[in-house]
Amino acid sequence: MNIYTRKKRWKWILFSLAVLIVAASLWYTQMLVQQISREERKNIEIWADAIHQKAELVNYTDRFFRQIQEEERKRAELLADAFRIVTITEESTTLNFLLKFIQENTTVPVILTDSRGKIKNTSNVEFDPDTVPNLTGNLRREFMVYPPVKIVIGGGSPPDYLFYKESKLFNELRVVLDDLIESFFSEIVINSASVPVIITDSTLTQVIEYGMLDTLKAQDSMFVQKKLSQMAAENEPIEIELADQGKRYIFYQDSELLTRMMFFPYFQLGVIGIFLFIAYILFSSARNSEQNQVWVGLAKETAHQLGTPLSSMIAWIELLKMEGIEGDAIEELNKDVERLQKITDRFSKIGSEPRLKKENIVQVVQDSVNYIKSRSSKKVEYRFVQNHQERIMVPINLHLFEWVIENVCKNAVDAIGGEGKITVDITEEESIVLIDISDNGKGIPKSRFKTIFNPGYTSKKRGWGLGLSLARRIINDYHKGKIFVKNSQLNKGTTFRIMLLKQN
């Protein structure tokens, strides 16, 4: 098991633990929210029940006032009959009784006028009868709430009229009732349950009162209608019927606190997610920086270590030549020394900004493939789609780019097990050049398309797993291009694609 397999397993273990922790946190928070919701719902039900009880109290009070009003009307009519009887009777006992009855009227305001409206007598009025001789204007309208009682006196004289209105006591009770209704609405909108409330008329459109809503938004009819729909969806509106006011509907919804509590777990999860994402970016950046330093240090140390024996080998070859030793062995030694010099040069360029120079990419690729071809099995067939005469100029660092091609080709040779076919295709587009290197080997699972470029990843028993990682670093970082697995099928083969810019 390589380092990346272990790392992947640990990632899944940590991810599973994180999911369990988040799920437990959400479950517990949701349980608290539901408990708070039940308590608040209980408070709202108590509040709604109190509304019904108080509405019943208001209606009962109104019915009581109406009974008083009816009683006062009867008393006024009885008073009018008494006046009528007084004018026609001659019996002293009856007369005294009626006069006493009239005098004991201390609540109902009455005015007795002749047929022309001249005031003849008054009782329980608020004005001075001596200064107001006639029943006219506002005073007449004030006493015309109820039809006047016509009093016909014997002898053919014109009739008198008895005007009356509600008593001062009844008017005071009416003010109390109106205040009670007004305070009823006020107590609804300023409620102990602290929930948003809208009171509408019977059409469900005209807003009468509202509470726990933004004042500016409440002036917007569209906002109000939308809010009413939301409230109706959450809770059945409370229907009440008040005297002289008709039906009223009370819309309400969950409190802002409960709403915030319901969304708090997701907000908490979002904050944790953002924090973890930022932490991941920071740690990843620090890790990449550390890896870069390790890469650069390792590469330069390797170049330094190779430099000393390489210089000795060059000196020994020259000494052999001076002694007259020639032949294929010396030639092959020269080739290997040149190869080592190239490798040393490659390692020395890691970590520094390489200089790019326009090269014929077709020739460079073919030369690199030919080098691998000369050192691989004869059973490996190499095929070039382009011919040697084609020229595609691309800015590259020759030594580093050759390294990339060699690494990809070596992986292709390993994939086909030393027997198969490797195809190289170079395509020129308007601003980029595409290099596809394909084999008919064992293929790569799709889940590992990106993993194979990680340092240390290898499918071989012996190997460091650095070739493709170096290739990606050279193409992505130094040439500003891309290298990736274009496609792959198990037991059918793999295609690596390299994208290079024609202009840097």
Instruction: Give a three-class secondary structure readout of 240-271.
Output: EEECCCEEEEEEECCCHHHHHHHHHHHHHHHH
Check residues 397 and 88 and name the one with the higher pLDDT.
Answer: 397
Tell me if 327 is assigned to some domain.
no
Portion of the chain with pLDDT greater than 70, in percent: 69
- CA 109 to mean position of chain CA atoms: 68
Segment 199-221 shows an average pLDDT of: 80
The answer to whether 187 touches 196, Cβ cutoff 8 Å, is: no
pLDDT value, residue 212:
72
pLDDT number for residue 295? 62
Window from 8-22, 62-76, 322-336, 471-485 with minimum mean pLDDT: 62-76
In what side-by-side order are the strands of the sheet with 149-151?
119-123, 110-113, 160-164, 149-151
Angle (nearest 5°) at CA 412 between 369 and 336: 45
How does residue 481 score in pLDDT terms, banded at 50, 70 and 90?
very high
Q: What confidence score (pLDDT) does residue 436 get?
A: 94
- The confidence score (pLDDT) of residue 95 equals 46
In a domain, 359, yes or no: yes
351-379 per-position pLDDT tens digit: 666 788 899 999 999 988 888 888 888 88
Residue 134 lies in a domain: no
| Residue 1 reports pLDDT greater than 50 | no
Q: How far apart are the first and last CA of the chain?
A: 41
Distance from C-alpha of 449 to C-alpha of 203, rounded to nearest angstrom? 65
Q: What percent of the chain is predicted at pLDDT more than 90?
A: 10
Please tell me the number of Cα atoms within 13 Å of 358 on its side-chain side: 6
Residue 220 has pLDDT above 70, yes or no: yes
422: in domain: yes
Is 427 domain-assigned?
yes
345 pLDDT above the threshold of 80 = no
Number of domain units in the chain: 1
Q: What is the H or E stretch that residue 420 is in? A: strand 420-428
**What mean pLDDT, rounded, does the chain reach?**
76
Q: Is residue 411 part of a domain?
A: yes
Backbone angles phi, psi at 221, to 5 degrees: -65, -35
What mean pLDDT do residues 175-183 have?
64
The span from the CA of 356 to the CA of 397, in Å, is 5
Is 494 a domain residue? yes
Which CATH number characterizes residue 444's domain? 3.30.565.10
The yes-or-no verdict on residue 3 having pLDDT over 80 is no
Locus of tokens 């793999």: 494
- pLDDT, tens only, 420-460: 999 999 998 888 999 999 999 888 888 888 888 876 666 66
**pLDDT, tens digit, for every residue of 88-138?**
555 454 445 445 555 666 777 888 888 888 888 887 888 888 888 888 888
| Containing structural domain, residue 477 | 354-501
Q: How far apart are CA 413 and CA 441, in angstroms?
A: 8
Biggest CA pair distance of the chain? 176
Tell me the mean pLDDT in the region 264-275. 77
Residue 97 pairs with which residues in a beta bridge? none
Q: Could you tell me if residue 60 is inside a domain?
A: no
> Would the pTM of this model clear 0.85, i.e. be above it?
no
Backbone angles phi, psi at 426, to 5 degrees: -115, 125
Question: Tokens representing 101?
Answer: 């009855």
Greatest mean pLDDT range, 103-107, 142-146, 259-263, 397-401: 397-401
